[in-house]
Structure 1
Amino acid sequence: MSKKTISLLLVVMLVGAMLVGCSSKPADDSAATAPTEEKKTPVVMGMISDTGGLGDQSFNDLAWAGLEKAANELGVERKVLESESADDYFPNLSSFAESDAQLIVGVGFLFNEAMAQAAEKFPDKNFAIVDSFVDAPNVASITFAENEGSFVVGVIAGLKTETNKIGFIGGMKFPLIQKFEYGFRAGVKSVNPDAEVFVNYADSFSDAAKGKEIALVQHQKGADVIYHAAGGVGVGLIQAAKEQNFWAIGVDQDQSALAPENVLCSMNKKVDVGVFQIAKSVVDGNFKGGANVFNIANGGIGYSDDAGNLTPELKDAADKYMQAIKDGKFVVPATEEEFNAFEVPQL
């Protein structure tokens, strides 16, 4: 083949290639790239602590654990605001309500007034309050039969004491905390009517030093078992029990990790269960306001002994009274009037 012919063929091939390139459609990026699933925006839930704050080893930590479970199992995003004083309650509620939060939880009965105001101001937001009832269609009220669980640990205290002197430390003297007191005293009375119960209130839910001071005074008066319903104040009780080697009874969650050799048991108030159930209702789309009561019968109240300090006899006695409460054989007092009229059940 001549050089002229070869050159002509090369030209024809080059022109053909250029024509094919010009007639091709541009690459379709959407076709070349695999379709990606649209990322779902997580449901945001906000919690506002009372003045005890996170790290109280009790009430606030339990509520936060309920939202942690919601984050792990339901994929929600949880946020928290910690209140320094009661003046922070309404501003913190408003802050979350003005954000993308779809559930706003106020921890503690002291939120009652602020929660009612926020619910009215933000009617399109879902709220939940722990330990109180707010009569609003957008507020789920999470309450507990604390008197029932306190009765059970009162039975344990009444049987465990060797001095017949027992202590109770409350946070603030409100009807809610008095439910703990009178339930506990009724439990002690049911198994040990000769025992004396010292009662003191700390006027705080966060002052651990005050809790320790009260506990030491009660112990000096002879108390060898002391129960608290005082949030962070109770940490001071447990510190005193460890230093002076007497028994403390924890509250809300198992507190034996704070002093395994001195926390006899704990009254379990399953705030985490209540908060999780309300969070789930929001995710499932069936949230509704109103009362949500947790007690021994539905598993929302009980006792625990993670450190293994209870004897089989103490557990048997506690379980016997728990079953009787569950079966409705008697009603545990929750007020002073009910306590004064209380008759020891014959089981």
Structure 2
Amino acid sequence: MPRFSVGQTFVALFLAANLWASAALPVAQAADYSKEHPLKVALVVHGFLGDKSFMDSAAAGLEKAKAELPVDVKIIEAGNDPSRWQPALADATDAGYDVVIAGTFDMTGFIVDLAPQNPETKFIIFDDAPDFSKCSCSNVLAIEYQTSSAAYLAGYAAAELSKTGTLGTISGMEFPTVTNFKVGFDEGAKAARPDIKILSQVAGTFDDPAKGKEIARAQLDQGADVIFPIAGATGIGALQAVRDAHKLAVGVDSDQATIFAATDQAQADVIFTSVEKRIGRSLYIALKDTIEGKAKYGTRLLLGLPEGAVGISRNAYYEKLVPAGLRAEIDAVEQKISKGEIVPETLLK
């Protein structure tokens, strides 16, 4: 598949967003927003920023919107105590924001409760979706990501790069939006090397780097020489273990090698690619379409490789660590997935 620049990929995603918008009526017509009268947006993070992946990607998308659109953004870090999440979301709603955004299944139930009580507020839930047939959610836009297709590419590459024939995966928890990464990664690895061995463990948390490091060290001791943590901040510890062992890793959610490069070059050097869930980019598009009256509130969007909403990082580390022949092979596999000639397994339909 041809490689695209960041700008070209963004344009493709923007065009795709307009196609998504044509399939359903928006909740409201375009409003006259300006820098003087901006769309007021709150992102409620159930945790903290600084995970260098999932939450940071969402925040980056809102900062981009703030810089380029008539949008006023407030990011609220609700912390790791689950008892604070619903009050934080309710407080943001009561504060009069036009759009309130939250992510993952942990927050979906709260949004389902708040949406019918606040019909003038628009809600965006990313990386999960309510059952629209069972809730009064006409003012809710849900965005999900078909990550298994991108993870398939990373798994294929990981298997080919492995010298020991053993890979490791570490999941934060087991639910579809996390496990879908592993499903695609495992399938891609086995497509490349049917005899590949894949060690798997669930950490049970997204907020424990020490546990992530412990699990990764155990997998390394069992012969894994490529590890894929799908575990938020827990995964940072796993990446550190891979760094210390001078093995290879696959990043998750964001282009983690590029993120680490500014502060930990040794860490960046072992991340040969990342499976990107382009949350920030999709949120930027959702806000732009909201301003223009095109956003499909009351529906669920499932976005994947064809829309540019997921992908793998093709950066300087990818160029250095992945041989040219394998890069060409990965491009060909990606093209087949986009054309429907290869259909990776998925937990999201």
TM-score tier after normalising by the smaller chain length: 0.7 to 0.9
Structure 2: give runs of 5+ residues left out of the alignment: 1-33, 261-266
Residue number in structure 1 paired with 2:275: 267
Q: TM-score, normalised by structure 1?
A: 0.82
Residue number in structure 1 paired with 2:328: 316
Equivalent residue letter for 2:305: I
Residue number in structure 1 paired with 2:21: none
Whole-Å Cα distance in 1 between the matches of residues 68 and 302 of structure 2?
23
Whole-Å Cα distance in 2 between the matches of residues 151 and 287 of structure 1?
30
Residue number in structure 2 paired with 1:117: 113
CA contact 1:204–1:230 (8 Å) conserved in 2:
yes
Whole-Å Cα distance in 1 between the matches of residues 159 and 278 of structure 2?
24
CA contact 2:168–2:227 (8 Å) conserved in 1:
yes
What displacement does 1:314 show? 2.3
Q: 2:313 aligns with which of 304, 308, 312?
A: 304
Equivalent residue letter for 1:196: K
Structure 1: give runs of 5+ residues left out of the alignment: 1-37, 339-347
Residue number in structure 1 paired with 2:78: 83
Correspondences of 1:1-347 after superposition (within 5 Å) = 40-51=36-47, 53-84=48-79, 85-134=81-130, 135=132, 136-257=137-258, 258=260, 259-289=267-297, 290-306=299-315, 307=317, 308=319, 309-335=321-347
Q: TM-score, normalised by structure 2?
A: 0.82
CA contact 1:143–1:293 (8 Å) conserved in 2:
yes
Equivalent residue letter for 2:129: F
What displacement does 1:41 show? 2.5
2:180 aligned counterpart, secondary structure: helix
Whole-Å Cα distance in 1 between the matches of residues 203 and 187 of structure 2?
21
Could you report, residue by residue, the CA deviation over 1:206-262 in whole angstroms, capped at 9, with x for unpaired residues?
211111111111000000000121111111111111111111100111111431221
Tell which structure's C-alpha radius of gyration is larger.
Answer: 1
CA contact 1:167–1:199 (8 Å) conserved in 2:
yes
Could you report, residue by residue, the CA deviation over 1:60-85 in whole angstroms, capped at 9, with x for unpaired residues?
01111111111111031111111222
1:152 aligned counterpart, secondary structure: helix
CA RMSD, 1 decimal: 1.8
Could you report, residue by residue, the CA deviation over 1:171-190 in whole angstroms, capped at 9, with x for unpaired residues?
11112211111111000000
Whole-Å Cα distance in 1 between the matches of residues 176 and 239 of structure 2?
24
Whole-Å Cα distance in 1 between the matches of residues 343 and 185 of structure 2?
13
Could you report, residue by residue, the CA deviation over 1:23-77 in whole angstroms, capped at 9, with x for unpaired residues?
xxxxxxxxxxxxxxx98232211001132x2111001011111111111110311
Whole-Å Cα distance in 2 between the matches of residues 49 and 317 of structure 1?
38
How many residue pairs align between the two structures?
A: 299
What displacement does 1:335 show? 4.5
Whole-Å Cα distance in 2 between the matches of residues 162 and 233 of structure 1?
26
Percent of matched pairs sharing the same residue:
30
Whole-Å Cα distance in 2 between the matches of residues 260 and 182 of structure 1?
25
1:232 aligned counterpart, secondary structure: helix
